Structure 1
Amino acid sequence: MKKWFVTLALILTYVLGMAQAQQPNWPEDTALRQMAMEKVAFYRDEINVFNRPEGAVDAISWLLKNAPDLGAFLYTDAIRAYYARIQKTQDPAVKEAYQDTLMTIFDQSIKYFNNEATTLNYKGYYAYNFYYQKPEKMEELRKLYERIIELNGPNTYPANVQFYLLVAINLLNQKKIDNAKVVNIYLTCKDLIAKGLVAARDEQTKKQWQDAEKNIDAYFMQYVKLDCAQIESIFSNKFRQSPNKEMAAQIRDIMKAAQCYNSNLFLETMDYLFREEPTYNNAIVVATLYESKNQTAKAMEVYQKALGLAATNEEKAKVYKELMGLTLRTGAKQACRNYALKLAELDPNEAPLAYTTIGDLYLKSGSECSSGENPVEQKAYAIAAYNMYKRAGNSQKMALARKYFPTKEEVFTEGMAGKNVTINCWIGETVTIPQLSDL
């Protein structure tokens, strides 16, 4: 957490410079005014000249009590001084007392200067680091960060967004809030981060928001254990009633972490994201999900869209391979052959699989491709299968196909050696009957 305090120190230094340019609201009583001037001169020397802000605490404490409306600069200096004193203090009880005092200084600043949004944003930096090991403080912290976010929106410091979720997780562990409440807080944080990224005016701020998002995602996935039924219960109605990209992406990430790939809600969100952002990768995921649900027509439709989104032959070949497998399982033989041929054309490494698949289709089609009375023509399908296995370089399957060839006697009797035969079933190929010496 140290890096957040380094950032805060820079902010406070800037604010301090601005505040010190303001005219102090000195007490009207002459003696009190003189004393206040001396205290201010003293503590500013401690901070600015001697670089020991912890030495300014006593003088600032007197001013906070006797001249609380002196100026906003007093509270900026008080935060710096008290935090330095806290850092120097070793006694746990004394350190805790100073921490509590610092928290009241923030509240006192709000009382006198009507600066709640900015002041609570600063307070949030310190509050979690002071109290994260105090379970009894968690509900108070939850309300604090809730108020900070309500007042500041995308101007909330990224650290405070992270602290908000961590407090919620702490309360969940104490069984003081349920999973649904933590999820809502997580979604609030995600929404705020998205707005913060849009509003970011420089790379440093943008990176802080990006780091915050990475951290809250990690916290949520690690500490909030939801099963698929719980996720569906929390999100399904909300998403179906008012779907949007941000929520769909959040549901996707949560369900992936819980490995809810068989969930209908996961399919719905992925399909929604694909329609909103039709990318090749999204298409492959959605088509695969539809296929796993035996929604073949939907899977085919999305795979076809994936072809149009593919940027390379390799990506197209991957789709054709999926389509080949899908149509093979559904028995769409001609379509399967067409996809296999496309696969072999685009990816030579997949050609053996593609041609073997076609050969298998031919060989298993004997019952429907053995019409007619000519025994040679009846067995021509096996020759077509053999030819495909040969193109695949699959000698084992070639030997299998030969077992179904017409015999030498059948070819001799019918006088078919060397003649072309067109297979009239779905295969529709023309094959050459082998010479007798080759049978």
Structure 2
Amino acid sequence: MKRKAILVLAVLAMTIGNSAFSQMADDCTITGSLFVEPAKAKNYTEAIKHYDKVVTECPKYSLATYQYGEKMFKHFIKNGDKSMLPKLIKNYELRLQHYPSKTKEGDVLGDIAQAMYDNDMGTKEEQFAAFDKAQKQDPENFTSPKGVYTYFRLAIELQESGKKDLQDIFELNDILIDKIEGKENDMAAILKQLLEKQENGTALDKKEEKKLNAVEKNLESYGKIKGSINSLLGSLADCDNLIPLYEKQFDEKKGDINWLRIAAGRLNGKDCETPLFVRLVEQLNVLEPSARTLLYLGNIAQKEGNSSKANEYYNQAVDLETNPNKKADIYYRLAESARKKGSFSTARNFYNKMLEVKPSAGIAYLKIAQMIASSSNSCGSTPFEKRAVNWKAANFADRAARVDASLASNARAAASSYRQRAPSKSDIFNQGMAGKTVSFNCWVGGSVRVPNL
């Protein structure tokens, strides 16, 4: 009898508990809807009346709470109510707390930092620290072009006011440029696949068209931001500043491999003419022979006019290098060496290898375009065929513009110039070549489709 009573009480307790839980869920549905529905309709004056109750009593009601909360607070701030800024930041923090698996930490931390900067909240040091937190805690997802730029701009301002060392600025610049170029490479690889599909005569579906537009827009944004960051660095990274800085530090730092790498890299990047560069490279080669030291030895040989020895060093360096951007730089040097000698086929091979490791290297496409256009007299057996090679050159220049915003203007101008040299509409009509294919038996190879009239 006693056991029956206990069983009855247990069942009753479970029933009451389930009922209470169900009631709580129902209450949260009502409370959540009172906020979400007007917020969805952009009736933020009504929505905000219910926001505090939702995040206090039903913080895990829905991710939409924080998504609409962000839009709501941004609306009020945009319209002049700065008192909403702490609430916006708290909204971001609550989203991170309650929906970590559905939230990119670096992205949201970057949004917090940007909100602080845009609304002049806190000191420059506090704003920088907020961006620094996003970069250090989740660098993979801190990728906003605007955020990356603001982060570096704050670093420059702190350096100018004596609150950051010049060396810190150089190191941060390297980190952010690597980040941007990594994103550019990812997007350029996608772009290349879509462009090749188009060039092969296959139409893109709506999803692919949307992806193509998004990728090109992002590539343009990152290209502009990279240029802006380099502009911010400006004269700070000129040889006049670098040489005395590193000469002063050399004796103290000559046993620090990381410092030697950075110093040599900076002087090399700026083509600084100084005996210090040779000393840095020799010391680095003693402590850590690597692809970097071989590259620098190649640069020294190149400046001395020994291109054969330089290429020997470059070929050794490219085999050892694992960083895609640095590997691309070596391929570019090898390509340029071959191009200047008139070995266009060899040069193209190196430019293509450069593109394999760095798909966003628009300069490689542009150089190939220049070589193709300069070969018109030796490609083709008729005047029409010789001029037709310019269409192929224009296609490469177009691709350069689409993957690299930093040279888009020059690349588009080059493409236009090449097309003006190609056969005219009357040439196409008179030769009966509209829509036909012209093949090239010279080093250029491949073919080009003549435009339809």
For Structure 1 versus Structure 2, the TM-score category normalised by the shorter chain is 0.3 to 0.5
Larger of the two Rg values belongs to structure: 1
Return the structure number with greater relative CO, CA threshold 8 A, min gap 6: 2
TM-score relative to the length of structure 1: 0.48
TM-score relative to the length of structure 2: 0.46
